[in-house]
Chain A
């Protein structure tokens, strides 16, 4: 049995250390080792985007990253999106626009939206739709989600 890997990383601004099996993905580590269960598991093969997190400023599927790979890297998860003054504008806009039903895809969409707005605070509707091509929602359809991202842009 291969030995465990010791990893030091920064998650949501806090230094974190963990031990993981080489075969554990970042998604496994976040949920099972660090109990950060806000990041959701959907397909576990890179199609649905439910497990999206931001790694060194880049949106990635945490199911397609090994836990061992994040040594020395910075990770943002849904747990870190909330600000000191309460919900992030994207989170508020999702609530106000009813951009979710079952909620499984929501953390992934919020992380995708955040990665987009961090890079392009005034993205157009077409850019939002293109950007979110890697996130699937099977409840609401995508219109309310896109409208929520557009609404969040106005309040940031």
Chain B
């Protein structure tokens, strides 16, 4: 293992200063569930590990029912569940937070870390996309906002420049008749990496008969998590029911570009995209009707 230094800056300015100094040789530490494994196994060599958990903005969890949720990039998954208010407003995020790893992992791992690791199979990313989450990124030149669906560029690659840090997510408050769901397929009940993941959200008309808005995101079927706009378009202003759900699932299948690997064949993943899109939509609709 390559030896590294450790710093725990107390504020963003200090953290950006360190990143600026060390560039690619520094890496931000949140829960460590990916980073510590990568440095130990020499998959990643760094000279400096910057522990972000003492920076207030990265640990912030603030919910304003009128505006939305500010979720610090290093906030561990466990802080998301257990709150009935958040469960009601952000059901898709809670689904993801509850199924990432076991308790030990959920007590440390963060959505920000999951996004920055930029795995195509990350569970939190399709859920964040379904909920229209936007990243707040800080760097030496100030801050910029990037929608989550535009953050990843390829496996392990993303839009962060050398001296930038992901600070937080902003996730807009749910309107009435909004519902969301994240579902993944794994060959067992718990503790595995998604073969395919699907996040869906819908906003229904007041009478719950038509779709007013929808977002469908897929994981593990392309080099990055995908926002499938054609699937959402298949639902827009359509009657809520199986025919429109089928058309959205077909659009999602057409957008998926899966590969064959140890977790499943491309054909199998293609099939799963259809099944999971339908299941995610049905659950999101059920939740929207109750919201």
On A, residues with C-beta under 8 Å from B are 1-3, 5, 21-23, 25, 44-47, 49, 52, 55, 58-61, 63-66, 68-69, 71, 112, 115, 130-135
Contacts and interface: CB of A to CB of B under 8 A. Distances in A.
A130 B78 contact: no
A61 B105 contact: yes
Interface stretch (B26-34, B84-92, B145-153): B26-34
B41 interface: yes
Nearest to B191: A133
B279 interface: no
Contact of A58 (B33, B39, B107): B107
Contact of B190 (A44, A61, A130): A130
28 contacts: A1-B3, A22-B5, A22-B6, A23-B1, A25-B36, A45-B37, A45-B40, A46-B33, A49-B104, A58-B78, A59-B103, A61-B105, A64-B31, A64-B36, A65-B36, A65-B108, A66-B49, A66-B51, A68-B8, A69-B8, A112-B103, A112-B104, A131-B102, A133-B102, A133-B190, A134-B101, A134-B103, A134-B105
A5 B6 contact: yes
Query: Counting chain B CB atoms within 10 Å of each CB, which of A2, A47, A64, A115 scores highest?
Result: A64
Contacts of B268: none
A77 to B, nearest CB: 14
A49 B243 CA distance: 46
A115 B4 CA distance: 32
B111 to A, nearest CB: 17
A22 B103 contact: no
B1 A134 contact: no
B41 A60 contact: no
B177 interface: no
A31 B107 CA distance: 22
Given A1-B3, A44-B40, A115 B8 contact: no
B103 A64 contact: no
Interface string B246-290: 000000000000000000000000000000000000000000000
A2 B5 contact: yes
Q: Which 7 A-B pairs have the closest CB atoms?
A: A134-B102, A22-B6, A58-B107, A2-B5, A133-B190, A133-B102, A68-B6
B45 to A, nearest CB: 11
A11 B12 CA distance: 30
Nearest to B101: A134
B96 to A, nearest CB: 16
Contacts of B131: none
B242 to A, nearest CB: 32
Contact of B37 (A64, A71, A134): A64
A134 B102 CA distance: 4
Contacts of B184: none
